[in-house]
Amino acid sequence: MLHPPHQSLQVAAVPQQRVPVRNRDQDAPWHTEAVCRRDEAGLFFAPSKEPTAARLSREEAAKRVCARCPVLVECREHALLQPEPYGVWGGLTAAERRVVLARRRRREVELQKSAPAPTVAAAG
């Protein structure tokens, strides 16, 4: 199991274009490059009974951190594959990740429906 940068790896927001990381040690876990490792963990996870306006503001701040992260894509995929139930990961909140997962499932079903049926060659 991957160990996140702080108590639990947090990251957010989708940048317009991802800048490739150069000279990164290919053997190092992806989260060692996460920008959120240097930020306050509380920014990425909601305190209990957080008011809605405060939550939205905190999530936007977390997403701004994620927007400059070189491992945003890796973080997001980690959160979607786990799936991580809480916090901002890969620029997405838990609710946003649920939407992405639902869309992926629908897309897979549609692709399966549109795929041509396998043909069975007649033995001769």
- Per-residue pLDDT for 96 more than 60? yes
Backbone dihedral angles phi then psi of residue 89, each to the nearest 5 degrees: -135, 135
Position with higher pLDDT, 58 vs 122: 58
pLDDT at 106: 94
Cβ count near 96 (within 10 Å): 18
| pTM of the complete model beyond 0.85 | no
- Exposure of 97 in the CB half-sphere (CA atoms within 13 A): 24
pLDDT at 54: 95
- The string of pLDDT tens digits covering residues 22-68 is 344 556 798 899 998 886 778 999 888 999 999 999 999 999 999 99
At 123, is the pLDDT very low, low, confident or very high (cuts 50, 70, 90)?
low
Beta-ladder partners of 92: 89
